Amino acid sequence: MTKNSLGLNKSPSETTVCVAMSGGVDSSAAAIMLKQEGYHVFGLTMDLLQAPYLPEHSSIQDAAKVAQKLGIEHHFLDFKTDFAKDVVSYFVQSYKQGLTPSPCIMCNRHIKLGMLADTAKEMGADILVTGHYADIRLTDNGVELHKGKDQKKDQSYFLFDVKKENLAMLRCPLAEYSKEQTRALVEQAGLEIYKKADSQDICFVSDGKYADLIKKLDNSAFFEPGDIVLSNGKVIGRHKGLIHYTVGQRRGLGIGGDIGILYVLKLDTKNNRLIVGHEEELKQKDVWIENVNWLGEDFPQDDEYTVKLRSRQKEVPARVEFLADNKAKVTLLNDFCGVAPGQGCCIYKGTRVMGGGFIAKK
């Protein structure tokens, strides 16, 4: 038997597909595509949010409406406790340590392509489908993760930390699609959600006010004002609480005078100091990463790659030297401004994601 479009040696009607349905445009489009191709489709929707980070409108009810419209089986999964522990708590604790966290990466690893994938298997799914703009390829050497075709929407960066065995179960039908094409598909299916706005980066933070949320969850000394100091130790002002700053930030520092444009260089959590300096001091070439997750076939090989150090920044060329204990030294071939400890470092070879890790504090 020839392989179906999902790469299995079964006909579509014999293949059971679980779609992770968020109630948004992208996952709904994925469900529509597979239903139209004749696969046996069911949907799982994760109930993740609770007070005090529950938004006024939760889109999970939209997922139930989409499933009903498509005529597919649909279930809710209560993962609120696990999401609070593995994602929200990680988010809060990272900021308290002076890090800039990557909650979407953690959610993909532990929740969406962790617990949800396990549940899908238990319910008989052969494949788990999501609305990610990324490309899963099956080769003779195993599964490969590549960038989505639409570079403006590519989400491969957020998947570098997923376990390889879970990637093997994943399929992303939107790999070749643009957002405009996806919306058109949903509109043609008669679903009103085609008009729905894109989801925000962090689902549990309303209007980007992460400091307000963290204060509700953990009102610690991290919110206390302290000194703003130059890299030479000179005090030049007062900050309003380290929670409000991240490495590379230049706006909102509240520093006047003729010092020139200053950037955040470091969050000194031990002494509650905000270290600032000029752009030249922000530049660096050596980056240390930890908790490396490797998606290649063989043991990681020291080589030249491109790396992405933040989701919205372009890849930059680098040489990566892999070390013991799942650590690596990344030597950037050009100076880079704004390397933020805690952010993900995704390692690419061409369009392929080879793996990645998390930027360690100096």
Q: Would residue 337 show up in a list of annotated catalytic residues for this protein?
A: no
Please give the pLDDT value at position 205: 82
Please give the pLDDT value at position 298: 83
**Taking the domain 283-359, which CATH number applies?**
2.40.30.10
Please give the pLDDT value at position 96: 85
Mention the CATH class of domain 220-277. mainly beta
Q: Which of 18, 104, 172, 203 is catalytic?
A: 203
CA gap 109, 87 in Å, rounded: 10
Give the CB-side neighbour count of residue 95, counting CA atoms within 13 A. 25
Taking only the tens place, the pLDDT of each residue in 162-197 is: 999 999 999 999 999 999 999 999 999 999 888 887
Q: Which of 104, 107, 172, 345 is catalytic?
A: 107
Q: Would residue 203 show up in a list of annotated catalytic residues for this protein?
A: yes
12-207 architecture in CATH?
A: 3-Layer(aba) Sandwich (3.40)
* Domain residue spans of the chain: 12-207, 220-277, 283-359
Angle 179-188/25-36 helices, nearest 10 degrees?
60
Taking only the tens place, the pLDDT of each residue in 309-353 is: 999 889 999 999 999 999 999 999 999 998 999 999 999 999 999
For the chain, which ranges sit under pLDDT 70? Answer: 1-2, 54-58, 200-201, 221, 257
Please give the pLDDT value at position 1: 43
